[in-house]
Each structure stands twice: as structure tokens, then as C-alpha cells.
């Protein structure tokens, strides 16, 4: 029996983009999460007694050069070598543009496949095949570069590919799952798509996902894949690896009639999340939805509820709030329909549409955004439609807050 651990898209030292994290201890955990998850995979490889670790591309992240990253990686690879574990690595699109990959003198037990393709014998009846990216862009299929499977052996092929395409991922080394199935290999060790998916079991076509999510868009537990090969047959098991787990969640507060009720619902909801996550730390984006009778009071006290949500999350011992969002609808019937607040609401609605007000508001927004990093500023104000949507969202929130201060008085 031989075991092999398959991972991809490690993105060492890629920043975990959670802008609202306010706790210094958590920031330290988040800052080292990609390294810690990789170290844990090395621990798994050693404890399981695997024969090899497969890294199917994007071990590194982007163009940044870091001697500390290189030193960390060599240390982890040395741990594998001391345990008699070989490493097979193909370069993905991020690796191809990262200068570290060409500068590091990797240990002898690490084999890096080049862009021409090749194969390496792991055991008498097990061969590992792989093709690396030559540069960042790979618009054509890499399948023609693979050597033919070795007859009478278990053949494992490593490929970094977007397959036929996936939401949120650029097209790289495109191919069809049907082409992989028909190729004669017993296991396709894929990489590039950050979400785990087993596309086929006969033969195995496995996208392991990434070992550590980097932001709220990469939510849920992350993992690697453990292969067990015995008598020519392959069994597969998912191995959880994420240190920080991102969670997107909504809480319907339609029936909330008091602060105590809302506080109790928040506490219960966060406790349930804590029980469900598999990682040591959870970073939560929490959105309140519904049409509660206390709509105006909640809007008025949003900052207070934001703080309480942070405190209730931390009280679980493992959760932190990334962002607290209030996305509520006002009651369908209200007692005050002709009073001063309604007149004010009408007036503010008219003001928000005036060209002079819009111009002033746009100028204020642009002044504030100048202090933000360029990438974040562009994401918020990338084009005219995005700018207009941001302006509408902010001015409406401001008007609602003013009304909430009036309508929530004495309650």
C-alpha cells in the first residue's frame, strides 16, 4: 500500500483580504494562515507515511519576491525529505511569474516538471507525470505535452488547468474533463480552481481546492486529497487543512420585537456557526435580513449592534466578525404616515436627486477614496456605474439613519 498527498493553489504568503479584522492577535493568525496550513499538510504527510506530496501549481503567489518565503518553504521541504517523502511540483500561472521559483535551489528529493512535460517513477508500478507552465499565460491545452501512460502501472498526471472554465477564474490550459477521462491516466491531480470538486472517479479527476481560503469569497473549509493505492486501485479521502475558515451567513430577524430577542438570536446563530466550522478560527460576514417591526430602532443603533455582534462572536472563543451588514426592509404598515418624519423623508429624497447635491457628494466620496490603496479604490470606483451605485447606497444609508433617529425616539 502506498499513500500520496495531493494539494494545489497554496499561494504562500498571499494576504488574507479581510479588511475589517480589528484584533491584533487574529491579524497574526490571518497573516500566517497560508504558511500554517502548508505546515499542517506536511504534518499530515509525515503522520500518514505518504510516499509523495504532489503540488499541482501555484505554490507561490504573484510576482512578489520574499527571502522569508523561500526559507520557510525550504524548511518544510527538508522536513519531508527527512521523512523519506518525495515531492513532485508543477508550476502554475502564479508560479511562472514569481521570481522565487527560478532562484531557489530545491532539495534533491523535490522534482519540478518543466514545460516540456515528463514522467518520474515513484514505485515499481507507480509513475507521476507532469507539465509546468512556461509563463503566466497558457491559452492552449497542455495535454499534447504529456507522455503516454506506462503500461501495467498506476499513472498519475499533474495538470494546472481551468478545464472548460469556471466562474471567477481566467482561462488557463483549457481542456475538457472528457479528454482527461479518455487519456488513459488513473488519477488526474489538478490545480487552479480553488473550490474542491471530484469530476470523475473512474478514472479519478480531482480538483483538490486550496488548503487555505484567502477572503470571504473563498468561504467554507479547505482541504487536500489523500490517495491510497493498493493492488492497482486508488481510494481517495479529503483531508481538512484550513486554519482560518471564512463564513458568509444571513439571519432573518423579521420576528424580532425587542433588543433582548435580537441579542439572543445573534448569540444562538453564532454559536451554531462555531459548532459547524472545522477550522480553528472562523471569520464571519453576518447579514441581517427580514422586515422587523423594530426596523428603525435597529437602523438607528446599527453601530451598537455591530459592536455587540463582534463581542458575541469573540465570546464563542473562535469566531470574529469580518463585516456586519444590515439589509432590512421597513414595516409594511407604520403608525406615522403623515408626520414630520415622512415630510423629512420626502424632502431628503428630492435633495438626493438634485444635480448640485450629487456633485458635492461625488466630490466628497472621491476625496475620501484618495486615501485608499489604488486597487481598493478602483474596485469601489472602477467605472461610472460603480461610482453611481456607491453614491446611491451611501446617500440612502445616510437618509435612513436620519429618519431612524427620529422614528426610533423613545423606543
Using the 3D structure, point to which of 213, 242, 271 is the last residue of a domain: 242
pLDDT tens over the chain, length 411 residues: 999 999 999 999 887 665 445 667 777 788 889 999 999 999 999 999 999 999 999 998 866 557 888 899 999 999 999 999 999 999 987 676 555 555 578 899 999 999 999 999 999 999 999 999 876 667 688 899 999 999 999 999 999 998 876 655 567 788 899 999 999 999 999 999 999 999 999 999 999 999 999 888 899 999 999 999 999 999 999 999 999 999 999 999 999 999 999 999 999 999 999 999 999 999 999 999 999 999 989 999 999 999 999 999 999 999 999 899 999 998 876 555 556 666 666 676 777 777 878 778 777 777 777 766 666 666 666 677 777 777 777 777 776 666 666 665 555
Q: What share of the chain is helix, strand, coil (3-state, %, to 5)?
A: 40, 25, 40
Q: Please tell me whether residues 325 and 359 are part of one structural domain.
A: yes
Q: Please tell me whether residues 32 and 73 are part of one structural domain.
A: yes
Supply the DSSP string of 165-208, one letter for each residue: -BTTB---S---HHHHHTT--SEEEEES-SS-EEEEETTEEEE-
Residues in the chain, overall count: 411
Q: What is the pLDDT of residue 304?
A: 95
Q: Please tell me whether residues 137 and 285 are part of one structural domain.
A: no
Q: How far apart are CA 403 and CA 128, in angstroms?
A: 66
Domain CATH for 129: 3.60.21.10
Q: Please tell me whether residues 339 and 378 are part of one structural domain.
A: yes
Q: Please tell me whether residues 11 and 94 are part of one structural domain.
A: yes
Q: What is the pLDDT of residue 389?
A: 75
Q: Please tell me whether residues 197 and 227 are part of one structural domain.
A: yes
Using the 3D structure, point to which of 242, 265, 280 is the last residue of a domain: 242
Among the listed residues 81, 145, 106, 101, the one whose alpha carbon sits nearest the alpha carbon of residue 10: 101
Q: What is the pLDDT of residue 390?
A: 72
Using the 3D structure, point to which of 242, 271, 296 is the last residue of a domain: 242
Helices 302-315 and 259-276 cross at an angle (nearest 10°) of 40
Among the listed residues 15, 14, 22, the one whose alpha carbon sits nearest the alpha carbon of residue 322: 22
Among the listed residues 67, 77, 183, 200, the one whose alpha carbon sits nearest the alpha carbon of residue 131: 183
pTM: 0.81
Among the listed residues 411, 123, 141, the one whose alpha carbon sits nearest the alpha carbon of residue 257: 411
For residue 403, give its domain range.
245-407
Q: Please tell me whether residues 162 and 298 are part of one structural domain.
A: no
User: Do β-strands 204-207 and 187-191 pair in parallel, antiparallel, or remain unpaired?
Assistant: parallel
Q: What is the pLDDT of residue 408?
A: 58
Q: Please tell me whether residues 149 and 41 are part of one structural domain.
A: yes
Cell 451598537 maps to which residue?
Answer: 304
Q: Please tell me whether residues 145 and 54 are part of one structural domain.
A: yes
CB atoms within 10 A of CB 130: 30
Q: Please tell me whether residues 269 and 154 are part of one structural domain.
A: no
Q: What is the pLDDT of residue 19?
A: 47
Among the listed residues 285, 368, 250, 328, the one whose alpha carbon sits nearest the alpha carbon of residue 20: 285
Total domain count, the chain: 2
Q: Please tell me whether residues 56 and 155 are part of one structural domain.
A: yes
Q: What is the pLDDT of residue 259?
A: 95
Q: Please tell me whether residues 234 and 249 are part of one structural domain.
A: no
Task: Tell me the sheet residues that pair with 250.
Answer: 287
Q: What is the pLDDT of residue 74?
A: 95
Helices vs strands, H then E, count in the chain:
13, 15
Amino acid at each position: 500500500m502506498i499513500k500520496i498527498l495531493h494539494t494545489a493553489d497554496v499561494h504562500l504568503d498571499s494576504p488574507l483580504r479581510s479588511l475589517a479584522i480589528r484584533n491584533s492577535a487574529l491579524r497574526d493568525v490571518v497573516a500566517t494562515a497560508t504558511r500554517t496550513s502548508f505546515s499542517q499538510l506536511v504534518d499530515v504527510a509525515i503522520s500518514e507515511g505518504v510516499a509523495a506530496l504532489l503540488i499541482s501549481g501555484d505554490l507561490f503567489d504573484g510576482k512578489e519576491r520574499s527571502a522569508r518565503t523561500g526559507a520557510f518553504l525550504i524548511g518544510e521541504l527538508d522536513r519531508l525529505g527527512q521523512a523519506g517523502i518525495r515531492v513532485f511540483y508543477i508550476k502554475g500561472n502564479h508560479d511562472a511569474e514569481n521570481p522565487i521559483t527560478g532562484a531557489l535551489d530545491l532539495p534533491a528529493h523535490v522534482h519540478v516538471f518543466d514545460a516540456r512535460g515528463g514522467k518520474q517513477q515513484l514505485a515499481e508500478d507507480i509513475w507521476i507525470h507532469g507539465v509546468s507552465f512556461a509563463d503566466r499565460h497558457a491559452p492552449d491545452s497542455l495535454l499534447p505535452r504529456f507522455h503516454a501512460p506506462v503500461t501495467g502501472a498506476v499513472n498519475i498526471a499533474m495538470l494546472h488547468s481551468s478545464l472548460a472554465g469556471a466562474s471567477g477564474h481566467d482561462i488557463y490550459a483549457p481542456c475538457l474533463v472528457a479528454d482527461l477521462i479518455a487519456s488513459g491516466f488513473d488519477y488526474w491531480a489538478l490545480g487552479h480552481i480553488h473550490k474542491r470538486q471530484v469530476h470523475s472517479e473512474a478514472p479519478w479527476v480531482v480538483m483538490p481546492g486550496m488548503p487555505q481560503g484567502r477572503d470571504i469569497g473563498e468561504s467554507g473549509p479547505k482541504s487536500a486529497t489523500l490517495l491510497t493505492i493498493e493492488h492497482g486501485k486508488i481510494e481517495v479521502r479529503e483531508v481538512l487543512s484550513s486554519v482560518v475558515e471564512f463564513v458568509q451567513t444571513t439571519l432573518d430577524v423579521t420576528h424580532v420585537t425587542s433588543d433582548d430577542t435580537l441579542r439572543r438570536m445573534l448569540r444562538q446563530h453564532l454559536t451554531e456557526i462555531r459548532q459547524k466550522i472545522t477550522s480553528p478560527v472562523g471569520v464571519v460576514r453576518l447579514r441581517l435580513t427580514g422586515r422587523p417591526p423594530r426596523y428603525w430602532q435597529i437602523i438607528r443603533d446599527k453601530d451598537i449592534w455591530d459592536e455587540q455582534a463582534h463581542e458575541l462572536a469573540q465570546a464563542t472563543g473562535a469566531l470574529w466578525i469580518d463585516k456586519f451588514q444590515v439589509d432590512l426592509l421597513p414595516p409594511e404598515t407604520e403608525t406615522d404616515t403623515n408626520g414630520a418624519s415622512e415630510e423629512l423623508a420626502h424632502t431628503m429624497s428630492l435633495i438626493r436627486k438634485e444635480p448640485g447635491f450629487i456633485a458635492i457628494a461625488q466630490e466628497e466620496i472621491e476625496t475620501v477614496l484618495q486615501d485608499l490603496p489604488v486597487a481598493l479604490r478602483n474596485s469601489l470606483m472602477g467605472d461610472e456605474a460603480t461610482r453611481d451605485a456607491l453614491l446611491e447606497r451611501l446617500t440612502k444609508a445616510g437618509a435612513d439613519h436620519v429618519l431612524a433617529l427620529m422614528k426610533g425616539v423613545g423606543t
